[in-house]
Amino acid sequence: MTAWSVERVSGSPADIHSLGLPDPARRLVRRCDATSPAVVLGSTQAEPPPGGSDRRLPVVRRRSGGGAVLVEPGGVLWVDVCVPRGDPLWDDDVGRAFQWLGDAWVTALDDGGRAVAHRGALVTTRWSRDVCFAGLGPGEVTVDGRKAVGISQRRTRDGALFQCAALLAWDPAPLVARLGLPPTALDDLATAAAAVDVPADVLFDRFVGQLPM
C-alpha cells in the first residue's frame, strides 16, 4: 500500500495555482482554500474580451485544461490530487486516468445513487469551451444529471496533477459577466450545474477516506 500525504494551503488563486506538482512527485492530496475570488481560465482558453463587465474580478490561468471556474471563498471545495508517474494509479490513457478519482468523489458524496461519474467521451455544449461546469468530461461527477464536481488534469514527465472543484454554491452570473458572454447564457448555465449538499469539511474527509491505497 502507498499512503497519501495530506496538506492544506491557503492564498490567492494565483498563488495556489503556482504550486503545481510536489518535488519529488509523490501521492499528495492538497486542500486549497482561496482567500480571494478569481476567474480561473483553462490552460488553452482565450482571454476574456476587453469589454467584459465586472472587470474588478481578477482573471488567472491554471496549467490544466478545460473552461473557466469561479473560485471564491465558500464557493468551491478545491482539491488537488497528485500521482507520480509509475504509481499503480497512473494510467497512460489520459481519459481513463480520471475514472478512479471520479469514483472516489461519488462515494464521498454518499447520496443514495444520485451521483454518477461520467464515463465516455467529452460532452460539449454551447458554453463548455468557456465555462467548466457547462460540459462534462471523463470522471466528472453529476448529481441528478447536473454537474457537481469538475476535474482537470496536468501531466508532466514526473506525474499527474488532478485539480478538482466540488461546487458548494452555483451562481453563473459573475462568470457570464467577466467572460463577456451574452445574457442568454445565464438560463443555460443555471441548470447545467448544482451545488453539493454536503458541508465542505465533511466532504473533504470523506473524499480522502475513499482514495485507493
Model pLDDT for residues 54-111, shown as the tens digit of each residue = 567 899 999 999 999 999 999 999 999 999 999 999 999 999 999 999 999 999 998 7
DSSP character string of 4-19: PEEEEEEE-HHHHHT-
**Containing H/E element for 93?**
none
Model pLDDT for residues 3-30, shown as the tens digit of each residue = 999 999 999 999 999 999 999 999 999 9
Domain ranges of the chain: 5-210
**Containing H/E element for 178?**
helix 173-179
- Give the CB-side neighbour count of residue 160, counting CA atoms within 13 A: 23
Pick the CATH number of 5-210 from 3.40.50.10490, 3.30.930.10, 3.40.190.290, 3.40.1410.10: 3.30.930.10
3-state class (DSSP) for residue 155: strand
Using alpha carbons, list the distances in angstroms from residue 155 to 18, 78, 175, 200: 15, 18, 27, 27
